[in-house]
Amino acid sequence: MQGIGQPMTNPAPTPARYYLTTPIYYVNARPHLGHAYTTIVCDAIARKKRALGIETWFLTGTDEHGQKIERSADQAGRTPFEFATALSGEFRGLWDRLGLSYDDFIRTTEERHKRGTQHLFATLRDRGFIYKGSYTGQYCVSDELYVDGPPGTVCPDCGRITETVSEENYFFKLSAFERKLLEFYEANPGFMGPESTRREVISFVRGGLKDLSVSRTSFSWGIPVPGDEKHVIYVWLDALANYMTALGYGSDDFIDQEKFKKFWPADLHLIGKEISRFHCVYWPAFLMAAGIPLPRSVKANGWLLFDQGKMSKSKGNIVRAETVQEILGADALRYFLLREIPFGQDGNFSFDALVQRYNSDLANGYGNLVSRVVNMVHKYFGGILPEAGAETAAEAALRESAVRTIAAFGPAFDDLNFSEALKTLWALVAETDGYLTASAPWKRPADRPEAEHVALQARVLATAAEAIRIITALVYPILPDSAAKVWRQFGQGEIADAAKNSFLAELSWGGLKAGTRFAEPAPLFPRAEKDAVERMQNIEDQDSRSVIETASSGATSGGGDRGFAATAGAVNAKPEAKTSASAATTAGKGAIVKKIAEKQEAWVEAPVDSVGVDAAAEAQAYETVALAANAPAVAATAELAPPQVAQGSELAPPQVAELAPPQVAELAPPQVAELAPPQGSQQITIDDFIKVDLRVAQILVAERVPKADKLLRLEVDLGYEKRQILAGIAQYYEPEKLIGRKIVIVANLAPRKMRGLESNGMLLAASLEDGAPVLAGFLEEVPLGARLK
């Protein structure tokens, strides 16, 4: 065994670069607000660092190995890789829709990760810290955690009964690091936080560390131990390694090695509090043993609670980020999470509190302030910012407050005290608002000469506008979309460009120049109406309802994007059109709903099945969408759908006809007859329709397929991923003319092979009399990946 005298202190931060990470998310369930929380916090930090001119690398990703995923996939009737791919896509897709600015997204099933993790394992073994032994004890599959105690012991983290495992394993000499770790914590008081986490970790280590089993033989879904392939590497060793493998650790490639040198050690691992032991004990010990510098800090956020419990899939008390985004926008969600919950503490999420915060701070606060000033600049100065002229005591006071706010906001934010930072900033919002009201530039008292009044209007509007510019610059990392809108309205161009030019590094009073042309006023945060809470609840209830209907039908729903699918229905639904299930859930997510959701969790979370379209002939590769219900992916219906659910009329299982596989005729190539009005075409429900995931994509590459005169090979960009699609349109479209065009694709069609090439999706086109396709497109600007519903 080599010496364990590894770094006692972690290196001081290099200001020129910053590397931060989220935990990598398990792919056994779709993302919910709890997952979005950590990722949003990281995004805000990353944006601020970049805007300060610091070269930043923001990593996120998915944790795809282990017994838990293997079992979930098995229950869903999928291979673990298929299962993981679909769920990983859900996380990445959501991060993209929320506009999160990650630089890299790692999947632990990627080759770069496998190579790096094996390299780390081999290094630990070569340095004498891994040995072979046998383990008999308790294991919690849900937390992938070894637990001390006799058979029947419950997991201290999740309360589930552990399983007894008896295997020959490789062990890591964790016990050798007890003293080293304690010394390290003492020498680096800023390493972990908050204080509660620090105390908990230290007391865990003081309680004594046992060697840790770092391989498993009883299942195979993992990374093989190099040189002994019947073992797979313990999923937490595998997962933690992602922070280095994503930078190129273990690669022979020069560019990877340079990147690793540049960004490692990480400046910040942001994690949820329940995984601090893995990050603050195991991870530093692995790194010390491997002779690799330790991360500079690990900070734990508290839990997002909903209905009195940690928001989690197994509790059935989750809220989707999409729901809030749909009704109030992503910025509202970001603001609420960072303002409402002191970082490090648990925080309650409630739609009521969210809407209240939104209306008071965003709609009536910042949004209203911006709109007042922009409107008045237009009304009194034709949209051109006037010269402020000489300052009075009122302007000087506002300027001094703004300068103090700039000084206070940064350190509070950097301490992850976002709530305090925002409170300080909103005090400036309120002060600016008060200044405006007190100055009343819209009202000329009878005894004030016209010229004097115009001078006051100019002074007040220029000063208030400058205060708003400061507020907007500071809040940009937290409200990036809204800040971008204000920046444009203030004639400042794109805030993203300003961020690239480190605008936060030199933020000071006086940046707004007289003569700047303001853009037309545009709404920022429309006031949330009374029914906003209900609408969000309906969306969530609809989501639960589709779980129940799915359970009753035995078919997987359009699960790949069930959240959005449910959203589509719910937004249009009138509040009074609540279902019995939704009524139950509104009253605290009713017990029936919860139970069923829980029972189904393993497989209703399963990825989308195909739309049930058989591979058609190449010539018809552009078929228009044929709606067909999915073939049941799991046939456990009878067992899983309790009778009381099936009785409720709204919840009755879909008719058999709806589930019947599509008739061949429905899939036939478009015929002339299609131009005739539809004759008795089979009706479908909204739930059938939403199974089809239609998305906006852009064609990046278009080329003919050799020896197939009808086929084009396309590479399309969905914003959140790129795909290859084969389309039978070569006789009608010149490939080069298609490049750059935005089209509509069916994104959840099962892949199929044509001429040895895999096609992942289908284009939508109208079919003319002679069979010629006309690709569907848009007249307005649409973002890539937008869903059609």
Nearer CB in complex with ligand MSP: 236/358: 236
- In the complex, the smallest distance separating the C-beta of residue 287 from ligand MSP, rounded to whole angstroms, is 13
**Nearest approach, Cβ of residue 212 and ligand MSP (Å):** 15
Taking CB under 6 A as the rule, does residue 272 contact ligand MSP?
Answer: yes
d(CA 84, CA 88): 6
615 three-state secondary structure: coil
Residue 34 CB, shortest distance to ligand MSP, in Å, is 2
What residue is closest to ligand MSP based on CB? 272
Question: Which of these ranges, 182-190, 303-311, 505-513, 749-757, lies near ligand MSP under the rule CB under 6 A?
Answer: 303-311
To ligand MSP, the closest distance from the beta carbon of 312 in angstroms equals 6
Binding part of the chain for ligand MSP, among 308-316, 365-373, 512-520, 751-759 by CB under 6 A, reads 308-316
What is the nearest approach in angstroms of ligand MSP to the Cβ of residue 31? Answer: 8
Query: Between 304 and 697, whose beta carbon lies closer to ligand MSP?
Result: 304
Token pair belonging to 35: 């997952």
Q: Min. distance of Cβ 382 from ligand MSP in angstroms?
A: 49
Distance of CA 74 to the CA centre of its chain: 25
Binding region for ligand MSP (CB under 6 A) out of 239-247, 450-458, 562-570, 697-705: 239-247
Report the residue number, 63 or 433, with the smaller CB distance to ligand MSP.
63
Task: Give the C-alpha separation, 118 to 130, whole Å.
Answer: 13
To ligand MSP, the closest distance from the beta carbon of 286 in angstroms equals 12
Q: Is 303 in the site for ligand MSP (CB under 6 A)?
A: yes
Smallest distance from the beta carbon of 587 to ligand MSP, in angstroms?
Answer: 21
Q: Which is nearer to ligand MSP, 293 or 735 (CB)?
A: 293
- Report how far residue 629's alpha carbon sits from residue 633's, in angstroms, rounded to the nearest whole number: 11
Residue with tokens 């992503």: 330
Q: Choose which of 34, 93, 116, 607 interacts with ligand MSP (CB under 6 A).
A: 34
Whole-number Cα distances in Å, 346 to 70, 136, 309, 334, 349: 31, 35, 10, 16, 10
Candidates 45, 51, 247, 304: give the one binding ligand MSP (CB under 6 A).
Answer: 304
Geometric angle at alpha carbon 54, from 49 and 58, rounded to 5°: 60
d(CA 64, CA 238): 10
Residue whose structure tokens are 């969306």 = 539
Three-class DSSP category at 79: coil
Q: What is the DSSP letter of 259?
A: H
57 binds ligand MSP per the rule CB under 6 A? no
Nearer to ligand MSP, 26 or 184 (CB): 26
Q: How many CA atoms lie within 13 A of 252 on its CB side?
A: 0
Q: Where are the alpha helices (DSSP H) in 127-233?
A: 178-187, 195-206
Q: Provide φ and ψ at 127, rounded to 5°.
A: -85, 5
Cβ closest to ligand MSP, residue 41 vs residue 613: 41
Name which of 283, 242, 240 is nearest 105 in CA terms: 242
234 is an interface residue for ligand MSP by CB under 6 A: no
Instruction: Decide: is 170 part of the binding site for ligand MSP (CB under 6 A).
Output: no
Q: Find the binding residues for ligand MSP in span 347-406 (CB under 6 A).
A: none
Choosing from 82, 211, 274, 715, the residue that interacts with ligand MSP (CB under 6 A) is 274
Report CA Rg, the chain: 29
Q: How far is the CB of 347 from ligand MSP (least distance, A)?
A: 8
CA distance 358 to 335: 8
Closest distance of CB 627 from ligand MSP, Å: 34
Task: Determine if residue 172 is left, alpha or beta; phi over 0 gives left, psi from -120 to 50 gives alpha, anything else beta.
Answer: beta
Which two tokens mark 226?
């190099």
Using CB under 6 A as the binding rule, the residues of this chain from 311 to 330 that contact ligand MSP are: 311-312
Closer Cβ to ligand MSP, 27 or 547, answer by number: 27
CA distance linking residue 87 with residue 98, whole number of Å = 17
Closest separation between CB of residue 590 and ligand MSP, Å? Answer: 20
* Dihedral sign of CA atoms 642, 646, 648, 652 in order: positive
- Rule CB under 6 A: is residue 310 a binding residue for ligand MSP? yes
**For ligand MSP, which residue of 106, 155, 239, 332 counts as binding (CB under 6 A)?**
239
Closer to ligand MSP by CB, 106 or 608: give it. Answer: 106
Q: Alpha carbon of 242 to those of 25, 28, 183: distances in Å?
A: 12, 18, 26
- CB count in 10 Å sphere of residue 510: 11
Site string for ligand MSP, 58-77 (x = CB under 6 A): -----x--------------
Nearer to ligand MSP, 36 or 428 (CB): 36
> Which runs of consecutive H residues, i.e. helices, occur in 207-300?
235-240, 242-245, 254-263, 276-277, 283-290
Within 10 Å of residue 738's Cβ, how many Cβ atoms? 21
Q: Does residue 155 belong to the site contacting ligand MSP (CB under 6 A)?
A: no
Near ligand MSP by CB under 6 A: residue from 7, 20, 30, 35:
35
Q: In angstroms, give the least distance from the CB of 136 to ligand MSP.
A: 25
Q: How far is CA 664 from CA 265, 622, 628, 759, in A?
A: 58, 16, 11, 21
Q: How far apart are CA 771 and CA 465, in angstroms?
A: 59
Residue (39 or 359) nearer to ligand MSP, CB: 39
The minimum distance between CB 19 and ligand MSP, in angstroms, equals: 15
User: Phi and psi of 738, rounded to 5°?
Assistant: -85, -20
Residue 84 sits in the site that holds ligand MSP (CB under 6 A) = no
Least distance CB 282 / ligand MSP (angstroms): 10
Q: What is the DSSP string of 512-581?
A: SPTTPBPPPP--SSPPPPTTHHHHHHHHHHHHHHHHHHHHHHTS--SGGGHHHHHHHHHHHS-GGG--HH
Question: Quick one: 138 or 242, whose CB is closer to ligand MSP?
Answer: 242
* CA torsion, ordered 325, 328, 330, 333, to nearest 10 deg: -100
Asked whether position 140 contacts ligand MSP by CB under 6 A, the answer is no
Our finding on whether 38 is near ligand MSP (CB under 6 A) is yes
Residue 240 interacts with ligand MSP (CB under 6 A): yes or no: yes
What is the residue type of 164?
Answer: T
Q: Does 271 bind ligand MSP (CB under 6 A)?
A: yes
Q: Which is nearer to ligand MSP, 242 or 552 (CB)?
A: 242
Window 14-33: residues binding ligand MSP (CB under 6 A): 23-26
Contact 779, 745 (CB under 8 A): no
User: Binding string to ligand MSP for residues 518 to 547, with x set by CB under 6 A, is what?
Assistant: ------------------------------
CA distances from 257 to 59, 284, 531, 548 (A): 17, 21, 54, 50
Question: What is the DSSP code (8-state) at residue 629?
Answer: P
Question: Residue 242 or residue 759: which is nearer to ligand MSP going by CB?
Answer: 242
Give the interface size with ligand MSP as a residue count (CB under 6 A).
21
> Whole-number minimum distance, CB 695 to ligand MSP, in Å?
25
Could you tell me which residues come within 8 angstroms of residue 13 by beta carbon, excluding any fewer than 6 positions away?
A: 267, 296
Nearer to ligand MSP, 282 or 409 (CB): 282
Position 157 contacts ligand MSP (CB under 6 A): no
Which of 263, 265, 277 lies closest to 192, judged by CA?
Answer: 277
Residue 171 touching ligand MSP (CB under 6 A): no
- Interface residues with ligand MSP (CB under 6 A)? 23-26, 34-35, 37-38, 63, 239-240, 242, 271-272, 274-275, 303-304, 310-312
